[in-house]
Amino acid sequence: MTTCLAIRHVAFEDLGTLGTVLDERGVAVRMIEAGADDIAALDPLAPDLVVVLGGPIGATEDYLYPFLADEARLLTARLAAGRPVLGFCLGAQLMARALGARVVANPAGKEIGWSELTLTEAGRASALAGLAGLPVLHWHGDTFELPDGATLLASTAITPNQAFSWGPAALALQFHPEVGARGLERWLIGHAGELASGGGGGAVALRQANWLHAPGLEAAAGILFRIWLDANLPPAEAAVQRRRSVV
């Protein structure tokens, strides 16, 4: 069976639409809880896919969250081996960190809410092509520099580096295509403090935008993930044969 290791930082930022697509493909998902499970003990090369999800902490705040260093080490080994990796928001920032790029506070401030991406030529030729002209969800205060050797795929006006690929099997997305329409109310609860201070225009405004845009993103993201997984995950039997050859 094809396997996926997913690292989650807060319960409400889960696999969402990606989880549905993985289930369709019969992929066995193991969910690791950052801060509770021992990330340092994981074999970074064993799973067929590693997914690192988002969270409201900084990718370099090891002094507050020591497990971030373990995630960075896992990603460094994984990326060096060219094994499939997918990162969302904090996960994308950790990928950039693992590749030697800086992760810093966004000079333009927080980006919370729905807006369209500007795809590069490479982005229009990638799995992200179906997101052209479609508002996607942004929820971040930090950003990353583009790692050496990475290909920029998308930008927004206040966050020039929104997505990059690194080789054929690593995709880092600062925005959140994974969110499903039904799950977004949990985001409003989980980020209540930030929204109460005016982030994203407040919970009511953001909820209305969610109702308007989330169904379209969910449909387009399903296509994005199917295209990317088709290119990067082996069929189940091929994965079994590869693991047997290692043993």
Q: State the pLDDT at residue 168.
A: 94
- pTM (2 decimals)? 0.93
CA–CA distance, 85 with 242 (Å, rounded to integer): 18
Q: Residue 111: how many CB atoms within 10 A of its CB? A: 22
Concerning whether 178 is annotated as a catalytic residue, the answer is yes
**Residue of 59, 68, 101, 56 lying closest to 192 (CA atoms):** 56
Could you give all domains of the chain from N- to C-terminal order, each with its CATH number?
3-241 (3.40.50.880)
Sign of torsion over alpha carbons 116, 221, 197, 141: negative
Tokens of 3: 């396997």
Concerning whether 4 is annotated as a catalytic residue, the answer is no
- Among residues 13, 89, 138, 213, the one annotated as catalytic is 89
- Among residues 13, 111, 178, 218, the one annotated as catalytic is 178
Q: Residue 213: how many CB atoms within 10 A of its CB? A: 19
CA–CA distance, 118 with 120 (Å, rounded to integer): 7
- Give the HSE-up count for residue 141: Cα atoms under 13 Å, Cβ half-sphere: 9
For 141, the 3-state DSSP assignment is: coil
Q: State the pLDDT at residue 178.
A: 97
- Among residues 176, 191, 213, 218, the one annotated as catalytic is 176
Concerning whether 89 is annotated as a catalytic residue, the answer is yes
Q: State the pLDDT at residue 33.
A: 98
Across the 247 residues of the chain, what is the mean pLDDT of every consecutive 10-residue run? 96 96 96 98 98 97 98 98 98 98 95 97 98 97 97 97 97 96 92 84 92 97 97 66 45
Tokens of 127: 């799995």
Q: State the pLDDT at residue 239.
A: 43
